[in-house]
Structure 1
Amino acid sequence: MNSDRYSRQTRLPLFGDEGQLILAKAHVLVIGLGGLGSIVAMYLAGAGVGKIGLMDDDIVELHNLHRQIFFTEQDIGSAKVKVVATRIAALNHTVETTVYKFHLHLGMADIFSEYDLVLDCVDHFDTKRLINQLAIQTGVPHIFASVSGVAGQLAYFSHEKATPCLHCIFPHSAQSALIQNCDTSGVLGPVAGWVATAQADLALQALLTSVEAGRLWTLNGLSMTSRSFLSAHDNTCLCGESTPDDISAVSFVQPAQLISMLKANSNVVLCDTRTTEDFVRSPLFEGSLHLPFDNLLMWPDMKKDVVFVLFCEGTTRSIYAAKYLMQVYQVSVLVLNRPQQFFRDWTASMSLPLE
């Protein structure tokens, strides 16, 4: 360990030489490398966290740069995971990085199990709920953070018995999934930086000492104030003593697979599970059924001679809807993974000249 590199933090009682050795052996997974994750990852690398996993399937775009300040104009079009990994190597060569250039899905419990702590830095609530579910499944603690407009939120979840999880705070799937993100509400760059540094601070504390699980902090960038409250554990939640939702029963289909199915099989029916409010951002996909997640009881009777492929802006709502369809109608259901990629690839395939 380079004593000069970390001398300013090892002087702190929380750190010391022993704390620095703990950080050197720690493994942290950062999911989402936008306004939060790109900053968090750099602070963790600077602090000397031994291994940092970087997960994001996005590329750098011009509209990112006002808040994602570790990217430059020269990085536009490059994969975020590769750019951040390069920046970390330049900042601290002793830190090991592992890049995951793909979108999170339910089959990634084995990846979570490789880490001591998971940091939720994504901006879609569907993915946040998925992170929460995988963290519960593996017992790996995680730190939730979000930023929208001029406000942010932050919480640590240990996933120990009788402690709250994200689902305890936001129990209603459809309402939670509609919480605005940067794409829909905008975001002030310094506020994203404020939340990111707070998340990095909380991560270092969680690695070195005990942190109160389930306390939600809210940050206001205009008033420059913060508030917090301790959320209650809900024993009926998926983190409670009752049996968690069985995610293994849900089957997924990848974009390329679905395109092949649609071109070869007329018995495939696309089902859009988004709410009507979601269509303000993106209209109903042509030829699909609208089966809104927030009104499951109003869905029509489903035919059993077709394969239903459910999609939304992420996957969480479609997963819950798939379970409902299978239980109530006993029909064949698939959940579309990475729906945005499917729409892009499908549009591109339709524009190709006929052979």
Structure 2
Amino acid sequence: MDVQETEHETLLSLGDRLLRIQGPSLRAPLRAALQSLRRGTDADELAGAWAGREAAALLAELDALGWLTAEPGDASRDFEGETYERQLDYLGLFSPDTAAAQRRLLSARVGILGLGGVGGIVAQHLVASGVGTFHLVDDDTVAPHNLNRQFTYTPEDVGTPKTEALARYLRRVRPDAEVTGHRRRITDEAGLHRVFGPGRRLDLLILAADSPADLPGTVARWAAATGTPFSMGAVGVGSGFWGPLVDPARGDCWSCFERARRAALTAVEREVENGSTEPASFSFGPSNTTVAALLAHDMIQYLCGGECPTSGRRAALDFTRQRITHTEESTCTCQTT
């Protein structure tokens, strides 16, 4: 929670939510009480600091807004000294129990298919957030032209399989991470079954490979058969997208999403999409990084709380206009038709 005081009011904000307290600057006891909330407090301190009528009214209002979370007293101390200790408060946007959310990240098993300008950056964010197990899938090696946007690789990695180079990077960030590389090109469901066979159940699969063109459908059929949630992201010239997060446990359906998405395209857009079967021969670091970071943000939120802004829908970012749009959340109809 952020606190900003002006001459005539005090503004409390959490995410995109705002609470406005009219009047002159806060009196010292109320300011101290808010500071105790921001750093974390226990029941005894809370009772003393918020005993006054004005403080009690504000505390009740914060509780009604859902801004207060209750956790074991030693929850934050469990993560002291870890690379992710300062993100715990942020996880409060995703779950009322931030310690439990962090533990879900620590135990999460994530597969990343495609380790380029999107997949590698997503992995970078996930390992820093504490994700504990990775399965990395790619058949390519690091090339000089990758280095303008694939920031987990260095010139010393050129010629090395991306699965090996990225695994080294992830272990440097988190030495206890379990990282398995699978150097292969996935073209069908059988390939996915071989890579993610018995004993390798995933909490999430991220599709960041751009070929073959029908790979999303292949992944979707495999995910539906195995009950594996998945999402994806890609970047083109001046635009990029991430999502949808398709979770079979929620009844999400890739086929119904695609049918609705395609139906909303104009005839020209559909013709252009049908003709775009080859990966783009160009790339730009800032656009790849932006889309990958937004995808990673959604995936961390999903792993923490089971939902995210792209659950069942796709977000698209127009870089030229700096505008984000979302598709409507799709409803599965194929079981009822």
Bin of the TM-score, shorter chain as denominator length: 0.5 to 0.7
Q: What corresponds to 1:106 in structure 2?
A: 189
2:283 is paired with a residue whose SS is coil
Distance of aligned partners of 1:241 and 1:135 in 2 relative to their CA distance in 1, 3 Å threshold: farther
Q: How far apart are 1:19 and its partner, in Å? A: 1.3
Q: What corresponds to 1:8 in structure 2?
A: 86
Distance of aligned partners of 1:76 and 1:166 in 2 relative to their CA distance in 1, 3 Å threshold: farther
Q: How far apart are 1:163 and its partner, in Å? A: 2.7
State the distance in 1 between where 2:180 and 2:320 align: 37
Q: What corresponds to 2:330 in structure 1?
A: 232
Distance of aligned partners of 1:86 and 1:177 in 2 relative to their CA distance in 1, 3 Å threshold: farther
TM-score, scaled to structure 2: 0.64
Q: Structure 2 counterpart of 1:179, which letter?
A: S
State the distance in 2 between where 1:181 and 1:219 align: 21
Q: How far apart are 1:11 and its partner, in Å? A: 2.3
Q: Which residue, 246, 249, 259 being the options, matches 1:160? A: 249
State the distance in 1 between where 2:144 and 2:225 align: 37
Matched, 1:197 2:285: no
1:80-119 aligned at under 5 Å gives the runs 80-104=162-186, 105-107=188-190, 108-109=192-193, 111=196, 114-119=201-206
Q: Structure 2 counterpart of 1:144, which letter?
A: M
Q: How far apart are 1:234 and its partner, in Å? A: 4.7
Q: How far apart are 1:138 and its partner, in Å? A: 0.9
Q: What corresponds to 1:183 in structure 2?
A: 280
Q: How far apart are 1:109 and its partner, in Å? A: 3.0
Q: Structure 1: which 5+ residue stretches go unaligned?
A: 243-355
Q: Which residue, 151, 156, 160 being the options, matches 1:74? A: 156
Q: Which residue, 120, 130, 133 being the options, matches 1:48? A: 130
CA distances 1:13-61 after superposition (whole Å, capped 9, x unpaired):
1362221111111101011000001111111111111101111011111
Matched, 1:120 2:197: no
Q: Which residue, 207, 224, 230 being the options, matches 1:142? A: 230
Q: Which residue, 315, 318, 321 being the options, matches 1:223? A: 321
CA distances 1:215-238 after superposition (whole Å, capped 9, x unpaired):
1100112222111122433533xx
Q: How far apart are 1:183 and its partner, in Å? A: 2.8
User: Who wins on radius of gyration, i.e. which is larger?
Assistant: 2
Q: Structure 2 counterpart of 1:58, which letter?
A: D
Q: How far apart are 1:170 and its partner, in Å? A: 5.2
Distance of aligned partners of 1:161 and 1:2 in 2 relative to their CA distance in 1, 3 Å threshold: closer
Q: How far apart are 1:100 and its partner, in Å? A: 0.7
Question: CA RMSD for the aligned pairs?
Answer: 2.4
Distance of aligned partners of 1:131 and 1:115 in 2 relative to their CA distance in 1, 3 Å threshold: same
Q: How far apart are 1:62 and its partner, in Å? A: 1.9
State the distance in 2 between where 1:98 and 1:20 align: 22
Check whether the contact 1:148–1:182 (CA below 8 A) recurs between aligned residues: no
Check whether the contact 2:108–2:303 (CA below 8 A) recurs between aligned residues: yes
Q: Structure 2: which 5+ residue stretches go unaligned?
A: 1-77, 263-269
State the distance in 2 between where 1:79 and 1:120 align: 18
Q: What corresponds to 1:290 in structure 2?
A: none
Q: Which residue, 303, 306, 311 being the options, matches 1:210? A: 306
Q: Structure 2 counterpart of 1:202, which letter?
A: D
State the distance in 2 between where 1:30 and 1:166 align: 21
1:143 is paired with a residue whose SS is strand
State the distance in 2 between where 1:43 and 1:126 align: 27
Q: Structure 1 counterpart of 2:206, which letter?
A: L
Check whether the contact 1:150–1:222 (CA below 8 A) recurs between aligned residues: yes
Identity across matched positions, percent: 24
Q: What corresponds to 1:353 in structure 2?
A: none
